[in-house]
Amino acid sequence: MSLLRGSLGSLKQFSVGGCGSRLSINRCLTGASSRRLYNTSMVLFNEEKKKKPGYQSILNDELLSKAGVDTNEPVKKDGSSTGSSANSSSSSAEEASKSELNEELKSKYEQQRRQQSKRKHVTSTDLKRERWANIFYIVSFGSILGGTLYLSRNWEEDEKEFYDESGNGYTPGLMFNRFKKRFDSVFSLFSEPAYEELLPPPPPEPYRRPLTLVLTLDDLLVHSEWSSSKGWKTAKRPGLDYFLGYLSQYYEIVIFSSNYMMYSEKTIQKLDPYHAFVSFALFKESCRYKDGKVIKDLSLMNRDLKKMVLVDVDPAAYSLQPENAIPMDPWDGKPDDKLIKLIPFLEYLATQPLSDVRPILNSFKDKKKIPEEFLERENLLRKNFEKEFKEQQVSNSSDWASKFLGLPTAQQRGSIPKMPLDIIREEGQKQYLQFQKYLKENGEKLLEEEKQKEKEFLSENKFTLEKLLVEGMPSPEEVAKQQAAKLATSDDQKGTTS
């Protein structure tokens, strides 16, 4: 009995101590029972979960082995695998895919939350930007509207090229026409030549050449090529010096380049260092620009179109005046004599009393073959000339005056006289040789005098940026007037000293 009492006392103390101070044994018993029920329910839930069939792949080990694919686990005869590796691999793949989806959703959610927070959070700099942007839009719209109304106003008297009283009015059609013409005129600065008259007026009649010859520069007189070893290399066409020197007796030669002045000016200076053969040089700034093509308008050169000849390799360049053009194939830099062969025809044009060169040019079927066809015409003319001479010689066989004076008659002389063309060529050749001799003797002196004149001109006419912006560059007429006035003053000084 004493032993029983002792065990009950110890049990009582243990229950009280295990449940904590001031807690009854009843509470401890109820808590233990609740924990026991929770544990049993969790065990039952896990067992039911294991009993439920999981998702499995259709391609099990049996199918893979039948297809000839090696598997890690052997297949039993009844078709079941030795282990649960397939189930575990499928479950791990599902868990990995779920985790990836969760991460993607989390990242998208975080991005949306950040964007919303940025929209809600507006700083003072953002407010300033929005305010200045609104001001910019308002000013731009107002300037466009004001410019449109200004360009649509009535014609003014100083607008001579557009002025028309019948075009004034504020109907939509008239306003649109005025706006379009003025708007196009603004951009015509980039497509029209720099000046309305590209050349100064021609000199007086005694000092004037009969015709004007306009030559393009690239692929006619020179040819430029680029190579990685030597860079840019420019070749001069064979016979070019003789071509320019000989024809400068008969023509006012103008080189009209299709490139800008900054690229072609030095090349032209190399071709004519003494400024003795080339009268003027024009560049791309003096061309028209239309539909992506560079056009050389001869009507702006302040010369009579009846007395002008253009030699070019680009059909677009002479598209406005094709009747004045002599087309040629572009020169590729190889030696040829096509430029020399063109001299007889050009010499013939300049030495004949022609009122208009265009009918002569258009009489050739193929203008690219003018030298060959002109040579045929010249040979035919020479045959007719010899035939007429022989007929005249037969008719004058009874030359009694020559017989009376003791002179040989035309039949006795027997020599055929020279044609007028031959005489003209001989005289032209003599003048060319004389002028070349003069340049060799006085070329350096001429260059020094020219440099001195340039210095004097620049010292007398000091250009400032303000003068260039307000007045612009002096026109060729103003330069000619200044040179004439200077020559007049120098002549007066010489007269007073003498």
Looking at the DSSP bridge assignments, the partners of residue 212 are 252, 308
pLDDT at 476 over 80: no
Contact 210, 248 (CB under 8 A): no
Is 395 within the bounds of a domain? no
Contact 162, 188 (CB under 8 A): no
Alpha-carbon gap, residue 423 to 355, rounded angstroms: 22
Average pLDDT over residues 178-196: 76
pLDDT at 270 over 60: yes
Average pLDDT over residues 133-138: 95
The percentage of the chain sitting over the pLDDT mark of 70, rounded to a whole number, equals 65
Burial of residue 212 (CB within 10 Å: 0-12, 13-18, 19+) is buried
Alpha-carbon gap, residue 191 to 173, rounded angstroms: 26
Average pLDDT over residues 434-446: 91
Q: What is the pLDDT of residue 88?
A: 61
Is 350 within the bounds of a domain? yes
Look up residue 216 and give its two tokens: 């393009």
Is 344 within the bounds of a domain? yes
pLDDT at 74 over 60: no
Alpha-carbon gap, residue 397 to 408, rounded angstroms: 11
Q: Cα–Cα distances in Å, from 395 out to 251, 403, 407?
A: 41, 15, 18
Contact 347, 428 (CB under 8 A): yes
Q: What is the pLDDT of residue 2?
A: 44
pTM above 0.85, yes or no: no
pLDDT band at 80 (very low <50, low <70, confident <90, very high): very low
Alpha-carbon gap, residue 435 to 427, rounded angstroms: 12
Is 98 within the bounds of a domain? no
pLDDT band at 446 (very low <50, low <70, confident <90, very high): confident
- Residue linked to tokens 């005289």: 427
Average pLDDT over residues 186-195: 72
Do β-strands 325-327 and 308-312 pair in parallel, antiparallel, or remain unpaired? parallel
Q: What is the pLDDT of residue 82?
A: 45
Contact 386, 417 (CB under 8 A): no
pLDDT band at 21 (very low <50, low <70, confident <90, very high): very low
Is 316 within the bounds of a domain? yes
How many independent structural domains does the chain possess? 1
CATH number where 344 lies = 3.40.50.1000
3-state secondary structure the chain: CHHHHHHHHHHHHHHHHHHCCCCCHHHHHHHHHHHHHHHHHHHHHHHHHHHCCCCCCCCCHHHHHHCCCCCCCCECCCCCECCCHHHHHHHHHHHHHHHHHHHHHHHHHHHHHHHHHHHHCCCHHHHHHHHHHHHHHHHHHHHHHHHHHHHCCCCCCCCCCCCCHHHCCCCHHHHHHHHHHHHHHHHHHHCCCCCCCCCCCCCCHHHCCCEEEEECCECCCEEEEEECCCEEEEEECCCHHHHHHHHCCCEEEEEECCCCHHHHHHHHHHHCCCCCCEEEEECHHHCEEECCEEECCHHHCCCCHHHEEEEECCCCCCCCCHHHEEECCCCCCCCCCHHHHCHHHHHHHHHCCCCCCHHHHHCCCCHHHHHHHHHHHHHHHHHHHHHHHHHHHHHCCCCHHHHHHCCCCHHHHCCCCCCHHHHHHHHHHHHHHHHHHHHHHHHHHHHHHHHHHHHHHHHHCCCCHHHHHHCCCCCHHHHHHHHHHHHHHHHHHHHHHC
Is 416 within the bounds of a domain? no
- Residue linked to tokens 């779920």: 98
Least confidently predicted of 38-52, 164-178, 203-217, 419-433: 38-52
Q: What is the pLDDT of residue 107?
A: 83
Is 10 within the bounds of a domain? no
Q: What is the pLDDT of residue 470?
A: 61
Cβ-proximal residues to 456 (8 Å cutoff; 6+ apart), any chain: none
Full residue range of the structural domain in which residue 273 is found: 209-363
Instruction: Tell me which residue of 272, 346, 299, 304 sits closest to 205, measured CA to CA.
Output: 304
